[in-house]
Amino acid sequence: MKTSDFYYDLPKELIAQTPIEKRDASRLLTLDKNTGAWEHHHFYELPDFLTEKDCLILNDSRVLPARLLGHRLPGGGVCEVLLLVDRGENVWECLVRPGKKLRPGAQVSFGNGELTGEIVGEVEGGNRLVKFRYEGIFLEVLDRLGKMPLPPYIKEELQDRERYQTVYSKELGSAAAPTAGLHFTKELLEKIAAKGVGIGYVTLHVGLGTFRPVKEEEITDHEMHSEYCIIPQETADLINRTRANGGRVICVGTTSCRTVESWAAEDGHMEAKAGWTSIYIYPGYRFKVMDALVTNFHLPESTLIMLVSALAGREHVLAAYEEAVRQRYRFFSFGDAMFIH
């Protein structure tokens, strides 16, 4: 299959730049994966599509304020460092700008010297290893100095950092939000639980590879990024119990999907596990665990639109996207949602 097979035309004005006031007031396009039939709803209606036999699997990763704006030492030229992966002993793998000026040995400073760093290495792909120096607790320093690493298609400054966190976020470590979960409120989750739907949590720390474009012509030539994920025992038990009782495993977001599909046995049995995954899901993939998916709209020609096409069929997905464009849905991180069932 060609990367161009997953292209659709999106007017720029439909890319949501700010979150709507009430999380669950976003629109919801439901898509029948077998027939391709769609319906228009609102996200607060999601419980109407769930039964007591079903379970929802959510990613509880929390976004780090990982974008640091500072200057180079000496000289004072501006620089930007984006934390990606904690490599231990105060060393982080980072994206840096300007790359030509930040080679190994370069020094950087943030917050009037409250946080400083040295470029101590360069890894394949051009990312840098930065060793940080600071007083106190690193995450507290980062909370004071860092900014939310919003996707490149969002140009507006975020007024409330919590609007780029899910209401159930808990485990710090993501460089971007698991955005399908941004539509949930605590009240909506309580309503879902009161209906008897099981709710389980996994953790996948979202990397910026999520936004890396597929540059290869053939989709199978694309190299997938790796991300760290965890499936707790209680979530594995919930999934196994749901499947044994004839219910549906409904993942919230492609990150939850990739987590459970990474570690499920061929027969769908799930066990607690943690590790790095680089699973790449595209049409032809046979899902072992996931039956339905709550997801946002995704970039044209991205690995994420390939994943949803694997679940519902490329033709059905692209037709649904065209309908969303016609109906002026809001797209991407702060946009509207789909329920593929």
240 residue type, one letter: N
Look at residue 101 and give its three-state secondary structure. Answer: coil
Are the CB atoms for 210 and 187 separated by under 8 Å?
A: no
Assigned token pair, 221? 């030539």
* 288: nearest Cα among 319, 251, 233, 325: 251
pLDDT at residue 339 tops 80: yes
Q: Which residue has the tokens 């590879």?
A: 209
The per-residue pLDDT for 3 is 97
CA distance 245 to 147: 45
55-59 vs 198-204, strand pairing mode: parallel
The 10s digit of each residue's pLDDT in 35-66 is 999 999 999 999 999 999 999 999 999 999 99
Q: Enter the DSSP assignment of 216.
A: S
pLDDT above 90 for 165:
yes
Helices of type H across 164-302:
186-194, 233-244, 254-263
d(CA 335, CA 302): 17
Per-residue pLDDT band at 188 (split at 50, 70, 90): very high
What's the whole-number mean pLDDT along residues 332-340? 97
* Contact (Cβ atoms closer than 8 angstroms) between residue 10 and residue 317: no
Does residue 105 sit in helix, strand or coil? coil
| Phi, psi (deg, nearest 5) at residue 35 | -105, -20
Alpha carbon distance 127, 106 (integer Å): 14
> What pTM value is reported for the model?
0.93
C-alpha to C-alpha distance for 129 and 102, rounded to whole angstroms: 10
pLDDT confidence of residue 85: 86
Supply the pLDDT for residue 166. 98
User: Side chain identity at 192, as an amino acid letter?
Assistant: I
Using DSSP bridges, classify how beta strands 337-340 and 27-31 pair: parallel, antiparallel or unpaired: parallel
Mean pLDDT to the nearest integer, 190-200: 98
Nearest one of 75, 116, 79, 84 to 99, comparing CA atoms: 79
Band of the pLDDT at 270, cuts 50, 70, 90? very high
pLDDT level of residue 231 (50, 70, 90 thresholds): very high
Q: How confident is the model at residue 164 (pLDDT cuts 50, 70, 90)?
A: very high
Q: Which two tokens stand for residue 241?
A: 């119990």
pLDDT reading at 330 higher than 80:
yes
Q: Mean pLDDT score of the chain, rounded to an integer?
A: 95
DSSP-derived pairing of the beta strands 91-97 and 115-122: unpaired
The H or E element spanning position 324 is: helix 314-326
Contacts of 136 (CB under 8 A, 6+ apart): none
Whether the per-residue pLDDT at 125 is higher than 90: the answer is no
58: nearest Cα among 160, 170, 135: 170
pLDDT tens for each residue of 138-155 = 999 999 999 998 888 898
8 Å CB contact between 181 and 252: yes
Tell me the C-alpha distance between 291 and 274, whole Å: 22
Whole-number pLDDT of residue 156:
87
Contact 92/129 with Cβ under 8 angstroms? yes
- Given a cut of 80, is residue 212 above it in pLDDT? no
Inform me whether the pLDDT recorded for 208 exceeds 90.
no
pLDDT of residue 152: 83
